[in-house]
Structure 1
Amino acid sequence: MDITANNTVFIPGATSGIGLALALALRAEGNTVVIGGRRADRLASIAAEYPDLGTVAVDTTDPASIAAAAKEVRERYPQLNVLITMAGIMRVEDWTRPDAFLDSAESVVTTNVLGPIRLIAAFVEHLREQPDATIMTVSSGLAFTPLAATPSYNASKAAIHLLSESLRLQLADTSVSVVEIVPPAVRTTLLPGQETSEFAMPLEDYVAEVVELLRSDPNAGEVQVERVKFLRHAEARGDYGDVVATLNAVDPHGK
């Protein structure tokens, strides 16, 4: 993805955290950026603070909401050529007790897996009509090295990784490229306490490095900041067991 190419970008799930920071960074590069979210008050607040950001209401857990938002975005922004499937949730779960994890696991899969699948289904035909388009997915370093406390999240991000790899193959002969962002732990509110965790990467540093990687290699299929490579390449390096042990010695709440 050429971030300086005057793209029109839709980022559902961008009212806070990595999504909003990336939206503002792409706007600063001269792109037209539209963000989506569930909370009307939060969207209104962002629109008031950043009047050049477009806003669209969307609940990525609701197929009807996705369909309505996709129709609105395509009508308001017919030049749309980039979709970033940003929305995601993370939950600490105890899988030794079925009554303690099933509802959480279903919510995580609905948001993190079905949400991106439904978003891509809603936009892929439109994107294929553009001369140069991108689907950008968001996985995680935990797709490659598991955090014991968050089984459903790990699995959902592993699914997004292989979905991205598969889509890249299927869309290879089209105008649509597939880019996978692979974040490490970043200082956001994804988990309680993570926004102040010394283990997590500062949000501003993370987004700045992502933008620089996209700028330096517009054809990258996977965007890996240096911090995530410890997790991403553990198996290939042959130190997977040590990395799993190191990762799981850290409290997931950042304490």
Structure 2
Amino acid sequence: MDLSNRTVLVVGGTSGIGRELARRFAAAGSTVVVGGRNQEALAELAGEGLGTVTVDVTDSASVVAARDAVLARHPALDTVVTMPGVMLLEDLRDPAHFEAAWTTVDTNLLGTIRVVDAFTPHLLHRGTGTFVTVTSGIAFLPFPPMPTYAASKAAVHAYSEALRAQLDGTGVGVVELVPPAVAAAGQEKVAPHALPLDGFATEVMDLLAQEPTPREILVKGVLMHRWAERDGTYDDLVAQRSLALSMLPGRDG
């Protein structure tokens, strides 16, 4: 992927990984618009020279309004990065966890689908472009304290695979970014060995710049997650990660 002359929308780019990748695309020479709900963060990004748009991915009308606003200003939009995400702890012994599960699915999975649906006609009309969906190493190696987060990201992976198949031959590609834990947006609190954001972003941009662009963007730190079942390490790693259940209130493991 040529990173120097694209028009990129990063939905969910007001913090963490999304914010850093938006800055990296801009530094590479692309026109970048960041979408999100945090008005303070959007104002800061606008101050850096990035475009911004307010969008709530759990609200279909908000997504459509954001799409219309972005395309009115940037009709040459060719890259849509969809990375809405919430990470919530859940104790499945407590039925009250369902609210967190609902919020997670509505944001991570349905939010991604809403964004993809909104921009698919535009990219198909152009006959070229790229969706970048964002999943997680947890999609392939669950983190038991966050069960619905893992399920939602696994679902986005499957959806990305199906989307790629359905768009085959249209000129519109689908690239899946699979981050491990990165020291951003609070992930270091639950993953003390999280990767530094700067190094992670550098590795991601280097992989995106490859020709042809890989279908999955896998930094070295996520390979143990992605291929755990293939490598025969899955059961042991899930058992190790289950020790983190002690994070849940009233649980000792």
Pair in the same fold by TM > 0.5: yes
Question: What residue number does 2:173 align with?
Answer: 177
Indicate which of 213, 216, 229 corresponds to 2:207.
213
Correspondence list, 1:116-195, <5 A: 116-191=112-187, 193-194=189-190
Question: What residue number does 1:98 align with?
Answer: 95
Deviation at 1:240, TM superposition (A): 1.1
Name structure 1 gaps, 5 residues minimum. Answer: none
Count residues in correspondence: 247
Is the contact between residue 2 and residue 218 of structure 1 (CA under 8 Å) also seen in structure 2? no
Aligned-partner Cα distance in 2 for 1:31–1:208: 16
1:18 aligns with 2:14: no
SS of the equivalent of 1:34 reads strand
Aligned-partner Cα distance in 1 for 2:19–2:6: 17
Is the contact between residue 131 and residue 174 of structure 2 (CA under 8 Å) also seen in structure 1? yes
1:64 aligns with 2:58: no
Is the contact between residue 181 and residue 188 of structure 2 (CA under 8 Å) also seen in structure 1? no
Deviation at 1:54, TM superposition (A): 0.4
Is the contact between residue 105 and residue 148 of structure 2 (CA under 8 Å) also seen in structure 1? yes
Query: Residues 144 and 160 from structure 1, CA distance in 2 versus in 1: closer, same or farther, beyond 3 angstroms?
Result: same
Give the structure-2-normalised TM-score. Answer: 0.93
Percent of residue pairs bearing the same amino acid type: 45
Question: What residue number does 2:83 align with?
Answer: 86
Question: What residue number does 2:250 align with?
Answer: none
* 1:156-184 residue CA offsets vs partner (Å, 9 max, x unmatched): 00000000111111111111000000000
Deviation at 1:244, TM superposition (A): 1.3
* 1:71-116 residue CA offsets vs partner (Å, 9 max, x unmatched): 10111100000000011100010011102x1110000000000101
Query: Residues 104 and 17 from structure 1, CA distance in 2 versus in 1: closer, same or farther, beyond 3 angstroms?
Result: same
Query: Residues 190 and 63 from structure 1, CA distance in 2 versus in 1: closer, same or farther, beyond 3 angstroms?
Result: farther
Aligned-partner Cα distance in 2 for 1:228–1:40: 32
Indicate which of 222, 237, 240 corresponds to 1:228.
222
* 1:109-159 residue CA offsets vs partner (Å, 9 max, x unmatched): 000001010001100010112243000000001111111100000000000
Deviation at 1:218, TM superposition (A): 3.8
Give the structure-1-normalised TM-score. Answer: 0.92
Is the contact between residue 45 and residue 51 of structure 2 (CA under 8 Å) also seen in structure 1? no
Is the contact between residue 230 and residue 243 of structure 1 (CA under 8 Å) also seen in structure 2? no
Runs of 4+ in 1 over 4 A off after TM superposition: 250-253
Aligned-partner Cα distance in 2 for 1:38–1:243: 36
Q: Which amino acid aligns with 1:46?
A: L
Question: What residue number does 1:33 align with?
Answer: 32
* 1:197-239 residue CA offsets vs partner (Å, 9 max, x unmatched): 5311111111111011112344210000010011110001122
Question: What residue number does 2:2 align with?
Answer: 2
Q: Which amino acid aligns with 2:65?
A: A
Question: What residue number does 2:233 align with?
Answer: 239
Query: Residues 249 and 205 from structure 1, CA distance in 2 versus in 1: closer, same or farther, beyond 3 angstroms?
Result: farther
Deviation at 1:40, TM superposition (A): 2.1
Is the contact between residue 8 and residue 82 of structure 1 (CA under 8 Å) also seen in structure 2? yes
